[in-house]
Structure 1
């Protein structure tokens, strides 16, 4: 029997995730009123809370609460995580305290986990800063493990996060290397790939704080002069285990380069939702466009990682409740986008949404924006044509842009008004063409068998009545004619005078569509008209029941 393949786990560590989320909320709140950048923010600290406590009646965080993270500008004044709010405010009186719900932190880790699904089938996460993905056997799809880790890092950075990626033989090994390891000189900054045979040697250089042990145990080792995992591995295992607490065996295994920790698979949510909220109401569309860019980018990254595409989008604008109630308007305004073809790229979804959002009139100032993807299907790639690849052309801009154009048109004028003309089997000229959907409806059944015979063209040829061919323009509504149809008679059409030069009989329709409540009985004639500005070839019919005459089409 062949030996089992050794596991390879990639760890994505996000050291600044908590401060990034807090800074993003501050930037959005300020940007909806005036442009701002993250560097312009005043020093702040973050306290994780179980749930958001919005509103003016919410009680402030108690001064004894401990800080979970601090911004770089606050750190320069001596503010550190673990201090109480009271202690931190003594060092910096202008320190701003930001409450961050743990649900937002979990959602941010979930977004990174969904992006990592493109690299392995099993992902796991651990608050507040780690996402794992099992990349066993997947390195050859990207070239090697170094290329895989580099691409994974670029995907996470595209979400706007500072990250480090490490690949090793276990979750805790890769997590420790991502947090504390130094990338080799030939690897990209922020990426560490450790082969199995070099795991113990690489782990030996890490500090003892890289182990999952309590702070007092790490301090005890430091007092003994044991500063690295290599020095810890040289100590007798039995003596060390009695002083390192309940997780001593796992910590000593990590120091020795071994890790048997299993990954607990994380399941992505079935409904994709991205939202952003701000405290002060904002007027106009421009603030919403600013926020929309971030929402669409995150949805696109999540869809790409899942290998799925959006069939339907819903954009919900949250109005200020007090103002909306005072003006008698709904608290939310929803814009529904039924996409003509599944989309997952950020620029394509943005084009569809922005084209309609820019023309939307808001009935009240906004305090939030939410983007939902209620209908998701598997994304299907488009196969390149061999002739195009051999000719050096690998893109299909025309085919790729068609679904986006159709989606934009559907958002602008309505899905029912976007389609293509198709021939229909009917004797009546106004029913010989119909508008059908440009692309098949999702889940629509295709016909089992194609038509064995093409649509009859004999009727079209008979309507021509001459060598000039069939009429080319069908009028929106038949135009009534009051004069008698005889050679030499004068007609007024569109404020222009014409004289009937010649009349030709085309055909008679008798009891056409007899199964309906209004069967058709008509005599079709072809008129050749002359006027001061040129001639006109018109198709006329006479209603055999009422005797009224109508012009229905012309031939250019």
Structure 2
């Protein structure tokens, strides 16, 4: 099932002005205007100006009469469109199929790609947050069709439409959410039709005869009855290869052969430019106008034909050919320099060659997801749970290491779990403890090792400390237990780690 994100930039004309020039502070109203005949009319209105009652279509003279300190910038549709296309190209980080939706939107087909950033909700949050930090107001919604996603991003109260509830989500929205021309919207309102649900309740033939075919076409597109293809944006500098087929294809073995051929052609182009690929996008164009895409990434630059072809063919089972595929495009959307390397000579230098874990990491990341493939690296911190972090599997060593002789457990429990401790004296090591409803008798212990809080982080940590004990029960199992304050101050006990 396809999933499409519609990104709406409601104040894009004024946001672009604020980003590209010395602009007034955000609290001061800003508009963009263009000349229409003998008048200058507003085209873009920022949030401050909208709060004062200004809207697109007003004349500049009228707007300045209402808001004397109004800042007016000249509208530039060509520049706005060019920068919108560059923003769409940046969105290729999320999915292979992206397109600008002028004048103030972007399409992103995230079919099969949302899990790479933690799911659909996480993707929408990250998208809107990144644009907001760049000074661009944004709203985003996701649905099965571009039309439904567009409607939710601009008029909806929810931002995600489930596949089984598309009509129910669209019904309460105004008819303008169907991307209709203003004259058709006005005609529907004169008929007393304000909501999409009211349009769905009427027979389509009389509406088409009276208002034209645009209404039914837009409605069918929003509901998924008629395909609405998204023409993928490919930056001109991207290295890519394309194959068009005289007859539609769809057999899995045929798709695999086409993928191998595209990889061979692309690897030759990469070798000629001394580049290695870090991200590959394979996009199939179907006869119904839809697209299906596969994205793979590599841990380090590569142009190994067999390895790249395997990564892609392992994902071909996710591709639904529909009624047939009429073209295939393979694009290296992220590349890095990779100079030619010396070929090994069998029997001479194989033993000295470094072990290349890149192919293994790539296969695991493709099967499990990139977030699940990592290694741990040390961090300079005395707090145990802060002394380790996740890094990329093949990230270079930082030179930081853990101090020796500290006797740290092989497994940390994060967060630490509370335990009930029995001690012979209040501040003595534990004599027994209960963890997960099981009581364990301590036969030997070592400690305490005092770990102080990192005072520069917060005032609460300035006076905090932990007393850690290594204890062993009667079955020979060893544990790492700490108390967070003296017993007379109500110190609590926690289990923080397990030794091997």
Indicate the TM-score class for this superposition, using the shorter chain for normalisation: 0.3 to 0.5
- Calculate the TM-score normalised by the size of structure 1: 0.43
* Larger of the two Rg values belongs to structure: 1
- Calculate the TM-score normalised by the size of structure 2: 0.47
